[in-house]
Chains A and B, each alone.
Chain A
């Protein structure tokens, strides 16, 4: 949250992301953008609208449809002194560039004994709910979070999006920055964002709502859904949920989750990706290893169903967790 004396205005998530890039590009000539349709078109979701006019073609590098080369070029330029921000239009398309992400960018520091750095950000739009079906709706964060050498960031609100993106650009490692399509222009999720540049450290979670009855940990858009469920339960049943946003999946702030379950004794994990092998499995494992004594029952997960994201609205709403499923998950744990 902004501090009291800061000058702020209300921004959308998309505007906050754009502002972070603009401010970094104004102050650091090594920062540049590379990606598909990011120039006149302004990116598939409009995040880079207007940036071509301010920074020109040299720094707003519109590319052919070549995800593998986009990430390879970003990595090679990062190794030699630039700080690229590569936009992959849909997070699903990270798979096309996976050699460059997983075998190259992620491992260069380690393979070369710490003698090379790859300060790059891969920005991409993840998540479903848009009717775009199986190849434009996935939540692939667990795949990238699994790979040592990558950092993975998933902001859930405009304030975090700006501060986390500034930190990601300043970081000397490859950072996968996954934005959510349903947050970009979401009027329900606009917020006061400071005009100044500020950093939110990677590896620090945030308690979005305090509560003492149950801990709910979530990522990205599921933080907003969890908050909705929490508000509803507070009003209707007087149940006080503590909603935790991990903000960065790797490094993971496990302490903020452990601190919360010490208070509540109960943990519900919420994510959009299919539950099998999902990131919340890691959270649950770490909590059971490090915080078992504070738990008064099993950890439960509310997550995507184990299928690709379907097209039909009816099926899509069944696949992706909504407020009702989160509410039910909370009530089940409270018995």
Chain B
């Protein structure tokens, strides 16, 4: 029998399950990261051309966290997402055509044009939705975890939220409730350094957001959110723990958003130097290099993979552009089930 490998992550001895994955799955994760990157590139083009009616919050630079975490759980597990939710939605298996159609406000979109970027959801794939309210989904995730526990269905929930949400009241009351009830929830804080324009230095007086674990009597740790392997292994380990009834965990994933907060952000609160430093830590390049160095993929395979994704995104954009808008008569549909 092959011996299990362990890695040290912020003081935890965590099994390196990534190493034992088959190559197809490792490449699939790279594909998902490319899908997110190019989906956001396409979205940015639509923003520039004035084709996005509302706002959008791009996930570029944070791809390793969504993909690493979501591939570490089962397909029928639940997630809740944030207002920066395209990445989670894609990683959970959403259809790119239907997503892009929603962003353009089309009838063929996930919410028939009623939700847009901030409310994108694919409930069938277990994605309980992006959320326009910072922290708004933490309670919903906790409720989904309660369902898993009460129905004993073996499922777990990954609750994505940002550093900004960690200062909302619902963060506190929900994680406390999950802790007292040992709910199977992974609270995954994507610390991308800014809550809109306010830096974590201005918003916190603690070194690590994961230090808040002790307030709830749960486990917690801080990981490199730009390292897909570390994200995958950590979430995989704690998912297993959750499934055996050991209760929730608070994972802080350190990452950075390359783009502005939303489509109208002059970015006066940060320097070009800082952005450049983080771009050099590109999670996709980093993961691709791991696969190439591990001889799982050649440079050529990688180029082909990325080109396939670009083509797929062009098709998604075409689908979205050609799709019809909803009929105005539908405006009051779906208010009630």
A residues bordering B, Cβ < 8 Å?
32, 58-59, 61, 63-64, 66, 68-69, 71-82, 84, 99-100, 103-104, 108-119, 148-149, 151, 172-173
Contact = CB atoms under 8 A, between A and B. Distances in A.
A79 B128 contact: yes
Interface string B134-164: 0011111111111110110000000000000
Given A64-B177, A66-B177, 11 more contacts: A69-B177, A73-B174, A75-B139, A75-B143, A76-B80, A77-B147, A78-B143, A109-B336, A112-B121, A112-B129, A173-B336
Contacts of B136: 99-100, 103-104
B337 interface: yes
B111 A149 contact: no
B335 interface: yes
Contacts of A61: 146, 181
Interface in B98-157: 109-115, 119, 121, 123-124, 128-129, 131-133, 136-148, 150-151
B173 A66 contact: yes
Nearest to B177: A69
A110 B335 contact: yes
Interface of B: 78, 80, 109-115, 119, 121, 123-124, 128-129, 131-133, 136-148, 150-151, 169-170, 173-174, 176-177, 180-181, 333-337
Given A73-B139, A103-B133, A110 B173 contact: no
Contact of B142 (A64, A73, A84): A73
Nearest to A112: B121
Contacts of B137: 104
A104 B140 contact: yes
A115 B123 contact: yes
B335 A112 contact: no
Most buried by B among A80, A103, A109, A114: A80
A58 B142 CA distance: 15
A32 B150 CA distance: 10
Contact of B78 (A63, A80, A103, A109): A80
A115 B147 contact: no
A81 to B, nearest CB: 6
A100 B132 CA distance: 12
Given A73-B177, A173-B336, A113 B110 contact: yes
B128 A116 contact: yes
B20 to A, nearest CB: 31
Contact of A72 (B115, B150, B174): B174
B288 to A, nearest CB: 34
A64 to B, nearest CB: 6
A173 B337 CA distance: 6
A66 B176 contact: yes
Contacts of B334: 109-110, 113-114
Nearest 6 interchain pairs by C-beta? A72-B139, A76-B143, A113-B111, A76-B140, A114-B334, A66-B173
Contacts of A115: 110-111, 121, 123-124
Contacts of A59: 150
Contacts of B133: 99, 103-104
B8 to A, nearest CB: 34
Nearest to A148: B335
A79 B128 CA distance: 8
Nearest to B153: A81
Nearest to B132: A103
Nearest to B155: A80
A161 to B, nearest CB: 22
Contact of B119 (A74, A112, A173): A112
B210 to A, nearest CB: 20
A111 B121 contact: yes
A156 to B, nearest CB: 24
Contact of A68 (B110, B111, B114, B173): B173
Contacts of B142: 69, 72-73, 76
B111 A72 contact: no
Given A73-B143, A111-B129, A58 B121 contact: no
A77 B143 contact: yes
Most buried by B among A63, A75, A76, A84: A76
Given A99-B170, A113-B115, A104 B177 contact: no
A103 B129 CA distance: 13
15 contacts: A58-B150, A64-B176, A68-B170, A71-B139, A72-B170, A73-B146, A76-B141, A80-B128, A81-B147, A104-B136, A104-B140, A110-B114, A111-B111, A112-B119, A113-B111
Contacts of A77: 143-144, 146-147, 150
A175 to B, nearest CB: 11
A82 B150 contact: yes
Contacts of B109: 113
Contacts of A76: 80, 128, 139-147
B110 A63 contact: no
